[in-house]
Amino acid sequence: MKSSRIWRTKTHMRRKRINMGKRIILVGATGRVGALTCADLVKAGHEVVACARGASKIPASQQVKPMTLDLHDPLSQVTDAFRKSHADAVVFTAGSRGKDINQIDALGAMKTIEAAKAVGITRYVMLGAMYAADWLRWEQPQVKPAIDALADYYVTKNMADQYLISSGLDYTIIEPGSLTEQEGTGTIQVEPDGPGPIPIADVAQCLADCIDLEQTIGRIYNIIGGSTPISKALTANQ
């Protein structure tokens, strides 16, 4: 083994052993949600491998390592990028804003799930969309208008969610209502009766908090703005 590789492996194992911050691959780090998630992960003491096509625009720091990644790239390339990151977890916040939903929101996400598995990353936190994982709810009167407005997008998000659920990874899926640019409140509502708005900052905080909350593993959260503090809402019994 090359000496630089041995050093990285030892550093990785040491971080794990003494329970320091984790190293997180953040996919979609230049986006509205991704940028705030990156800041929250850093605040929580983690290192972030900040991935996007435009990653070179992200300022590098001791805790943030920008890495150019295009989800159009073949799986082998995404896997290589993940392998060299030596990360503990993946947080996925990428999306095509409706322009390339099959390749990015569905297949792109699925590539990152497979890449994580291939390199032995076991933790994966997904940014979904409200009710995307549960298509049997899509015809409920209070849900249908929101789904109908973006019907094909929801199908692609459902594919990504289902792929993650059956991946064997320790997953958490955060499914927010409509994103607003209002200031974050630090509070949310889980499993409301129907869709609603939520500040981007609160969604980002949920994604970042999941990394340190083992109780969130294996859970899917439909969330909108609300009054329950985020970590309390995420750890409440179902």
Ligand X SMILES: NC(=O)c1ccc[n+]([C@@H]2O[C@H](COP(=O)([O-])OP(=O)(O)OC[C@H]3O[C@@H](n4cnc5c(N)ncnc54)[C@H](OP(=O)(O)O)[C@@H]3O)[C@@H](O)[C@H]2O)c1
Q: Answer yes or no: are the C-beta atoms of 115 and 169 closer than 8 Å.
A: no
Site string for ligand X, 10-49 (x = CB under 6 A): ------------------xxxxxxx---------------
Q: Using CB atoms, what's the residue nearest to ligand X?
A: 95
Please give the Cα distance from 228 to 52 (Å, whole number). Answer: 32
Instruction: Single out the residue of 95, 184, 199, 225 in contact with ligand X (rule: CB under 6 A).
Output: 95
Binding segment toward ligand X, per CB under 6 A, in 111-119, 175-183, 208-216, 222-230: 175-183
Please give the Cα distance from 164 to 61 (Å, whole number). Answer: 31
| Of residues 57-76, those binding ligand X (CB under 6 A) | 69-72
**159: amino acid identity, one letter:** M
Q: Which is nearer to ligand X, 28 or 184 (CB)?
A: 28
Please give the Cα distance from 83 to 91 (Å, whole number). Answer: 15
133 scored as a contact of ligand X (CB under 6 A): no
97 scored as a contact of ligand X (CB under 6 A): yes
| CA dihedral sign, ordered 11, 16, 21, 27 | positive
CA-based nearest residue to 69, from 115, 102, 15: 115
CA distances from 74 to 93, 110, 112 (A): 19, 11, 11
Residue 129: CB minimum distance to ligand X, A: 4
Residue 196: CB minimum distance to ligand X, A: 11
Q: Which residues bind ligand X (CB under 6 A)?
A: 28-34, 52-54, 69-72, 93-97, 104-105, 127, 129, 176, 178-179
